[in-house]
C-alpha cells in the first residue's frame, strides 16, 4: 500500500501520480551541488537518460536543467536556429502554436503545417513543404497534450533525411518520453525535449532533453551568439559533459532533490525492458479507448494510428458540460483534465494514463477511472444511444 495520504487519483496528461520511492527521494537532506556524492548521482542520471532515449552514440548529449518542459522550446529556438532562419512546425494542436510563438520571439521564421483537429500532417504534404523552402529545423509534437494526437517519428525522420538532409529533426516529447517508443539513434533524431512530470514520473521542475552529435555541431557552427543567457548551450554544454564525467561544475544551481527523484524514477523505469513498459501503456490505452467507444463516445483522434498511448482526449455528449462532470469525477476519486485546444476547449475532456497508474499492478487507478466516467456521465443524464 502507498504511504501517501489518501487523495483522488491524478489522471490528467501530467503531472501524473508518483511512486512513493520517488517522492521520498525528494526529501533527501540538503547537500552541496558540487560535492562528490551529488555529482555522482547527477552523472548517473544523465547516463540513464541515454538508455531511456535509446542512444549509445557518445556524441549525443543529454541535458537536465531546472525549469518546466517549456524551457525545451527556448533551448531549441535560442541555440539551434538563428534570427532569419526558417523552421517548419508540424501542427497537431495547441503546443505547436506555442512552439512557433517561441521561435518568433527569437526572430526565427516559423511556418506551421496544420492538420484538422484530431489528425496530423501527412507525409506527402510534409515532403511538398520541404521541397518548397529550405528549413533549418523541422519540429514535431510526438503527442500533443491538447488533442491526444500521436505523430509517427520513424517514417517522418526518414522522409526529412531523404528530402532535406540538412534539416534537423526536433521532437517535442513532453507527453511521450517514457510511454511511447522513441529510438533516438535508430530513427536518426536530432533532438528530443521533454519534462520530468509526465511519463517519466518525477515531480515537475526539470527540463530534460537529448541532442545528436550533428545538432551539437550545428550549434557550434552558428554565426551569432544564442539569444538567451540561461538557455544557452554555451553555458550548459560543458556543465552537462562534466557532470556526466563525474566532475564538479557550475553555471547555475541545480535542484539536488529533484535530481535524486529523477534518478530514482529512471532506476525504476530501466529495471525492466523498455519494450515491456511501452507494451503496458499500449495495452492500457486500448482498454480505455474500448471503454470510451462502448460508452458511445468519440475521441478527438478518430484514426487509431493517430491515438496516443499515454492519454485519451474524449468528446463530451452535447448535454454534458465539463464544469459539471469534472467535479463529480473528483468526488468519485479521479481527476481528469478539461479541454485545452482553443477552438473546442469546452467540448471535450482529457484522461491521462501514464507511469505508475499503468505499470504498478497494485494500483487500480485505471479501472476506477473508467467506472467513475461511466457513472458520472449517467449522473449528468447521459444515456448511450
Give the chain's mean pLDDT: 97
Average pLDDT over residues 258-278: 98
Q: Judge if pTM exceeds 0.95.
A: yes
pLDDT interval class at 356 (50, 70, 90): very high
What's the pLDDT tens digit per position in 364-379?
999 999 999 999 999 9
Give the rounded distance of the alpha carbon of 66 from its chain centre.
16
What pLDDT score does 167 carry? 98
Q: What is the pLDDT of residue 385?
A: 73
Whats the size of the chain, residue-wise? 385
What confidence score (pLDDT) does residue 2 get?
Answer: 83
Quote the pLDDT of residue 179.
Answer: 98
Q: Count of CB atoms within 10 A of residue 333's CB? A: 15
Q: Is the pLDDT of residue 1 over 80?
A: no
pLDDT at residue 70 greater than cutoff 90: yes
Tens-place pLDDT, residues 40-69: 999 999 999 999 999 999 999 999 999 999
**Structure confidence by residue, pLDDT tens digits, 139-180:** 999 999 999 999 999 999 999 999 999 999 999 999 999 999
Full 3-state SS string of the chain:
CCCCCCCCEEECCCCECCCHHHHHHCCCCCCCCCCHHHHHHHHHHHHHHHHHHCCCCCCCEEEEEECCCHHHHHHHHHHCCCCCCEEEEEECCHHHHHHHHHHHHCCCEEEEEECCCCCCCCHHHHHHHHHHCCCCEEEEECEECCCCEECCCHHHHHHHHHHCCCCEEEEECCCCECCECCCCCCCCCCEEEEECCCCCCCCCCEEEEEECHHHHHHHHCCCCCCCCCCCCHHHHHHHHHHHHCCCCCCCCCCCHHHHHHHHHHHHHHCCCCHHHHHHHHHHHHHHHHHHHHHCCCCECCCCHHHECCCEEEEECCCCCCHHHHHHHHHHCCEECEECCCCCCHHHEEEEECCCHHHHCCCCCHHHHHHHHHHHHHHHCCCCCC
pLDDT tier, 303 (very low <50, low <70, confident <90, very high otherwise)? very high
- What pLDDT, in 10s, does the model give residues 109-149? 999 999 999 999 999 999 999 999 999 999 999 999 999 99
Which residues pair with residue 338 across a beta bridge?
349
User: Across residues 226-244, what is the average pLDDT?
Assistant: 98
Amino acid at each position: 500500500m502507498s504511504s501517501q495520504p489518501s487523495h483522488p487519483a491524478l489522471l490528467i496528461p501530467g503531472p501524473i501520480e508518483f511512486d512513493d520511492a520517488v517522492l521520498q527521494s525528494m526529501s533527501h537532506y540538503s547537500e552541496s551541488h558540487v560535492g562528490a556524492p551529488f555529482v555522482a548521482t547527477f552523472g548517473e542520471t544523465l547516463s540513464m537518460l541515454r538508455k531511456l532515449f535509446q542512444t549509445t552514440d557518445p556524441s549525443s548529449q543529454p541535458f537536465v536543467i531546472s525549469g518546466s518542459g517549456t524551457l525545451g522550446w527556448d533551448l531549441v529556438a535560442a541555440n539551434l536556429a538563428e534570427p532569419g532562419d526558417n523552421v517548419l512546425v508540424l501542427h497537431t494542436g495547441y503546443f505547436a502554436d506555442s512552439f512557433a510563438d517561441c521561435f518568433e520571439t527569437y526572430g526565427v521564421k516559423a511556418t506551421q503545417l496544420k492538420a484538422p483537429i484530431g489528425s496530423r500532417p501527412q507525409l506527402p504534404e510534409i515532403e511538398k513543404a520541404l521541397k518548397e523552402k529550405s528549413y533549418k529545423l523541422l519540429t514535431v509534437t510526438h503527442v500533443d497534450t491538447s488533442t491526444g494526437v500521436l505523430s509517427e517519428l520513424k517514417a517522418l525522420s526518414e522522409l526529412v533525411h531523404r528530402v532535406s538532409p540538412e534539416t534537423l529533426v526536433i521532437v517535442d516529447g513532453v507527453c511521450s518520453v517514457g510511454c511511447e517508443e522513441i529510438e533516438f539513434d535508430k530513427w536518426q533524431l536530432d533532438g528530443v525535449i521533454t519534462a520530468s512530470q509526465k511519463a517519466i514520473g518525477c515531480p515537475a521542475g526539470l527540463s530534460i532533453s537529448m541532442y545528436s552529435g550533428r545538432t551539437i555541431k550545428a550549434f557550434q557552427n552558428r554565426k551569432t551568439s544564442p539569444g538567451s543567457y540561461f538557455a544557452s548551450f554555451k553555458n550548459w554544454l560543458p556543465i552537462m559533459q562534466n557532470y556526466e564525467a563525474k566532475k564538479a561544475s557550475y553555471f547555475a544551481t541545480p535542484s539536488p532533490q529533484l535530481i535524486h527523484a529523477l534518478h530514482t524514477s529512471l532506476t525504476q523505469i530501466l529495471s525492466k525492458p523498455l519494450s515491456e513498459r511501452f507494451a503496458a501503456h499500449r495495452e492500457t490505452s486500448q482498454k480505455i479507448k474500448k471503454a470510451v467507444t462502448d460508452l458511445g463516445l468519440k475521441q478527438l483522434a478518430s484514426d487509431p494510428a493517430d491515438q496516443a498511448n499515454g492519454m485519451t482526449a474524449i468528446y463530451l455528449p452535447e448535454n454534458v458540460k465539463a464544469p459539471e462532470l469534472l467535479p463529480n469525477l473528483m468526488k468519485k476519486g479521479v481527476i481528469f483534465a478539461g479541454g485545452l485546444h482553443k477552438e473546442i476547449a469546452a467540448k471535450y475532456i482529457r484522461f491521462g494514463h501514464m507511469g505508475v497508474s499503468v505499470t504498478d499492478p497494485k494500483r487500480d487507478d485505471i479501472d476506477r477511472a473508467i467506472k467513475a466516467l461511466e457513472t458520472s456521465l449517467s449522473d449528468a443524464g447521459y444515456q448511450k444511444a
